[in-house]
Each structure stands twice: as structure tokens, then as C-alpha cells.
Amino acid sequence: MKEYRRKRASPEKAVELLQDGDHIVHGVTIAEPPALLRAIADRARAGDIKKVFIYSFNPQQHAAETYLALDIQDRIFARSWFLGPSARKLAAVGLVQFIPSYLHQIPKFLRENMTVDVCVTTVSPMDKAGFFSFGTANDLTSTAALLARTLIVEVNRNMPRVFGNSMVHISEVDAVVENHVPLMQMAPPEPRELDAVIGRHISEIVPDHAVLQLGIGGLPNAICPFLENHKDLGIHSELFGPGMKDLIVKGVITGRKKTLHPRKHVFSVAYGTDDTFAFMNDNPSMTSFPADYVMDPAVIAQNDNMVSVNSIIQVDLTGQCNAEYLAGHMFSGTGGQLDFVRGAYAAKNGKSVLAFYSTAKNDTVSRVVPFLDKNAAVTTPRMDVQYLCTEYGLVNLKNMAEDERALAIIGIAHPRFREDLAHQAEKMRII
């Protein structure tokens, strides 16, 4: 506590530790530190810093309200490994630069391909042994924190204390700022009518004792209500969210049959609302690790009966999938999708599912296309795709010939587009 008191500072005083030219990494999603990010933006606005680089993953509300402000973009240069709503428009005009990456490789980038000068992140209060917890954000944050020349933590009593490889000691911290504000609330999107249809399809291939990974967005979360009659499910997931929490409370997810970390709910980033954070707090079953462990395909594959569920934007007739580009612009990023597609399929009795709505824009645009859109990225190559699922069914492409794959994909497209897709497949000499 003597060391804690010595290092305690106001946000304005703490960010005086920043220097021009610094490369700064901040906590992800719920762990964005609002007071510290605002103090950094204020220093830039006052002209005290002329040029710094800030790195994030899926920047959220606090980033948007502080260092992403338009009036300081000539002094703060933003980089992101994943684009969310706060950064998409800025990225489209070059004010946020996207860094292509697999999520499990980002800690390696930090260690070997850049210098982390400063890390700022929200943490839970210090415990009696002198440790803070990274709480909802381990991912790349813990790696950046331990590499940084300067580590500044924003202590918030509302941040859950989480176990696993998720701690940093007061002796490793350079400045402590206290800011006990409500945590950002990130509820899942309101379910759409088709989510139930797709969720039911996927639930039918999930066995008892399966280990789940559920990706970002409404569709992966839609599976949760249809798993309530399953037994002894487990979690090894990039994201932990409200649907998973509900299944733990109902006794569906126990982790008892896991082959890796039995009885532990393994994750790297959490989202949700206060009830999810309260459930996580001081809960020894909640176990957080960095991205280079949780999202490493070789680690994922150690979970027997691994089932990953992620969403995509488009699939073409060869089976290659785009989850990153929309209307010719970067929309999100690869994140951990391909990591889990590969890891889940490599697991004993593992399955990977890529789910999507068959159409967009009120059924006027097919998401099954002959070719991916111009400039679109291939997030998951055709060789890696296993299950595809829409409201019209679920198909397993593994070991299918090209003509069989195309016909299977056409079969889960919206009926109004199937005839044209079949003609296009003929022109492409696939069928």
C-alpha cells in the first residue's frame, strides 16, 4: 500500500510520462481507460505532444470520444488490429490504419515487431498481495503491459477480478490512477427472427461435453438458448459473453469433461453488462489467458469435441469466406476466426461452423456469390471451411469435390438466387 500511495496520481500527472514518438497500446473493449485516454487527448490538443502512435483492437466508445477526435488526428496516429463501429469511417478516409493480423499472433508482434513504449489499461483494485487483475481484457493487453517501458493503470472497483494468467504486480506499475466509473455496457445485439432458425441448426451438431467458442456478433450468441438441454459443456473461447454466463448459471456449462483446463472457463476477452461482470468477479472458474495461448490453433486442438461458431459476410461458390469487407471497405478484421476454424477442426471430433444470413438489404442481395466482392479479403480460405450455416440449412464441405461443394453452398442460399448461382457455377466450369 505504501508503494500504491507513492505511485497514485491524477490522470493529467500520470500521462506526463508519455514522450513524443511513443507507441502506446491501450486496454481492449471494456478495459479502455477513459480518464487516461482523455488525458492523452488533452495533452495532444494542448500541443504538449506532437506525434504519438496509439494501437488498439476494436476501439470502442472511450476511444471514439478521446484520441479519435478529428481535431487531433495530426498529432495522434491511430492503428488497429480490428475495426469496430468507432473506427470504420475513420479507416475509410485513412485516419485509422488497419493492421492485418491473426489474433493469436499479435502478442508476438508486440514482442518482436514493435517497441511498446506505454501501456494504459483499466484494472481491478489491487489485492492484499499487491496484484491487479486485467479483468475483462487479457488478449494483447497483458503482453503489452509487461513489455511496456511505462505502464499506467486506471483502477476501477467495477472491473472484475479474474484468475488465470491475468495479473500484474504493483512493482511493475509506473503510475496508478483511480476512476471508479460504471463500466462500458456491451449487451449482445437484439436477436433477429432468423437467429433462432440458424441457432437451432447449429445446436443439432453440438454434442454433450462439447467445448464452445462463440465469436463476435448476434449469430454466434444465438446458439445459446438452444443448448439448454445439453450436458457438461465447456468453454475455450476468444470471447466470453452473457449467453455463456447464462448457460453456466443453468448448469449446462460445467467444464467437467474438458480435456484441457477441466472445470475452468477459458477466455481472453469478455463483454456484456454489469450482471456478467459481477458473475465473473472473484470467480475461480473464470480463467483468462493472452491471445497467443487461447487463440493458438495448436492449443485449441487439445480440446476434444471443440465446436467453434463464427459469422461471415459472404461466401463464394468455391467456399472461400469474407468476414472483413463490406461494400468495398474494411469492416472489421480477421480477429480469431481463422485461428478457431483451424484449431477446432484439428481437435478430436472437432467442428467449426461459419454462420450467416443468406441475404442482405431485405432479401435483395445474396450473401452467397459466384465471386467475392472486388477488394474483399479472404478471411477463411476454402480449404479450411468445414460447416456453413444459413436459415436454409447447414452443410459440411469437408472432402467434397468442387461440384459437390458448389451445389451444397447453393442449397443454403436464398431460393430466389439459386437458379442464377447454378448458371454462374456452370459458366465457371465448376458444375
The residues carrying an active-site annotation are: 238
Q: Are 152 and 174 in contact (CB under 8 A)?
A: yes
d(CA 14, CA 11): 5
- Which residues have C-beta within 8 Å of that of residue 368, sequence separation ≥ 6? 314, 315, 316, 317, 358, 409, 410, 412, 413, 414, 417, 421
Q: State how beta strands 286-288 and 359-360 pair.
A: unpaired
What does the alpha-carbon distance between residue 248 and residue 283 come to, in Å, rounded to a whole number?
Answer: 12
Measured CA to CA, the distance from residue 118 to residue 98 in angstroms comes to: 20
Distance of CA 337 to the CA centre of its chain: 9
Query: In the beta sheet, which residues pair with residue 355?
Result: 311, 389
- Partnered with residue 119 across adjacent β-strands are 25, 151
Distance CA 175, CA 9 (A): 7
Torsion of CA 195, 198, 201, 204, to 10 degrees: -40
What does the angle CA 171 – CA 138 – CA 160 come to, to the nearest 5 degrees?
Answer: 80
